[in-house]
Structure 1
Amino acid sequence: MKKIGFAIMSLMIVISFTISAAPMPADAAGVKAKTYANCKEINKKYKGGIASSSKVKNKGGATKYKPFVSKALYEANKKSDRDKDLIACER
């Protein structure tokens, strides 16, 4: 009986560490996405720009870099998406 109790307690400890170590998305943690002043600032950090999802396609033609995908970051910088293709500051 002690072995079963010990096994259950060990399992509970492992599960609690797994849950607490899981990364939280920026939206769930209450962290506000950074707003950049212009495309030059965005492209310093994200060379391909910022896409709202991985399924969006670029309307402007061929691009050199793949965009970083983040809905929250895109929404914060939506003003920089001139062609309204759901990718801000693509290059």
Structure 2
Amino acid sequence: MKHPEILAPAGSFDSLIAAVQCGANAVYLGGKGMNARRNAGNFDAEELRRAVEYCHLRGVKVYQTINIVMFEDEIDEAVETIRTAAEAGVDAVLT
């Protein structure tokens, strides 16, 4: 029987660790901008790299969110956010 993926939110490094320790197969998180969870701690570029490394060592996928209503003047920031995510090794970007 195929088991559904357990996807958990991670608004901070502490919550990411908790999600992984509780059996999440994947986590989703946001950067410091370009996401709907602006009140969460979120992840800068270095924290994102650490989060991906932590998760991948444990067989957990990392999805980065870019889930805002985007305006034309924000496209360059979105492209840079995706580039940073790719360089960090995230498994997918959620829009």
> What TM-score do you get using the length of structure 1 for normalisation?
0.28
Which structure: greater strand fraction? 2
